[in-house]
A = this chain, B = another copy of it.
């Protein structure tokens, strides 16, 4: 099948770029002497995940990270057993977690408060088996977690350790996405490491077990200089990369492996607009570059071979319509691209854009052939 035969919009995945992104991250973390627990929430596909582990077939049972129990079900069904569900557990999911564990999945959960710890401990007692749990540490004041110096850390640790459920600590330095320089990301990576290791040390000093010290985000994993005391790193979006990551120098635009194929369906010449058939349903509503140095609208516009067209961005979106214009807004600067022409749009946020689609169309750089179709899933 050729690109020109595809009904648009369609999600394209440049497999050689993806493989390069994976190899670079694996090499980097191996050099730092830590295990890699990739986050599968970006790809949500067994084919993408197989590529993530292609260099290390012995490890095809994991370790991996997921953002939903549906991902845990799916990847366990495909042979992955060492799974971390990295969203604070809700009580309504404990039965599902216990069922997966009873079937042989070494699923670990996280939490950051005493109420949840007591609920997990009570459930584990009722089961008569531990529910391995990491305490989420707030390493960057960004979202969730217990502060490493908080009294509550030890209280939670004791509740979990009581029935053998305390498995370690974890953090996600999400604030690294807001860093504006590589130096700032390096500093954030060291802060992420130091605060999480500090939490582990406090637990151990109190006589509590803390086998796992898990950190990670794509920016900090890309620029961390040392990871002493850390046992594993998580990262997800690096597999495809996107304009948000390019905007903070975590990748180059040329590293972005994901794009949406669109077709020009009309012109509004007086406004300087091309209308396409890829709207926010195809790109997502993510405007993650809006607050960066360069606002990329809904994405950078490339030709059908994936080469950016100077000055063109997807400036607005309706459900199934995209508006493409020159960055300057000047209608005179809009290149006359014929109705029927296919374009590739690079996304702001790969996780959000991929989530809008049910399959990947694999391509190889500028070549016009679709080499494979890979299914992906969404939902809970």
Contacts and interface: CB of A to CB of B under 8 A. Distances in A.
A377 B367 CA distance: 31
Contact of A351 (B7, B112, B286, B319): B319
B8 A92 contact: yes
A340 B87 contact: no
A285 interface: yes
Contact of A378 (B266, B358, B380): B358
Contact of A7 (B69, B88, B287, B358): B69
A332 interface: no
> So how many copies of this chain end up in the complex?
2
Contacts of A115: 338-340
Contacts of A352: 280-281, 285, 319
Interface in A313-327: 318-321, 323
A46 interface: no
Contacts of A113: 266-267, 339
Contact of A285 (B67, B144, B284, B338): B284
Q: Which of A4, A8, A320 has the most CB of B within 10 A?
A: A320
Contacts of A5: 92
A263 B113 CA distance: 14
Interface in A37-57: 41
Given A267-B113, A320-B67, A340-B115, A88 B275 contact: yes
Interface string A92-116: 1100100000000000000111011
Contact of A143 (B90, B174, B318, B338): B318
Interface residues of A, number: 62
A277 B7 contact: no
Contacts of A119: 340
A159 interface: no
B320 A87 contact: yes
Interface string A255-298: 00000000101111000000101001110111100000000000
Interface string A102-141: 0000000001110110010000000000000000101000
Given A286-B285, A380-B9, A266 B88 contact: yes
B339 A265 contact: no
A10 B93 CA distance: 12
A277 B143 CA distance: 12
Nearest to A9: B380
B355 A6 contact: no
A191 interface: no
A60 interface: no
A265 B116 CA distance: 8
A69 to B, nearest CB: 7
Contact of A92 (B7, B91, B143, B358): B7
Interface string A368-380: 0000000000111
9 contacts: A87-B320, A88-B275, A88-B321, A116-B340, A280-B286, A280-B352, A319-B352, A356-B378, A358-B379
Interface of A: 4-10, 41, 67-69, 87-93, 96, 111-113, 115-116, 119, 136, 138, 143-144, 174, 263, 265-268, 275, 277, 280-282, 284-287, 318-321, 323, 338-340, 342, 351-352, 355-358, 378-380
Given A88-B266, A92-B342, A144-B265, 13 more contacts: A4-B92, A7-B96, A7-B380, A10-B380, A67-B281, A87-B320, A88-B275, A89-B265, A116-B265, A143-B275, A357-B379, A358-B379, A378-B378
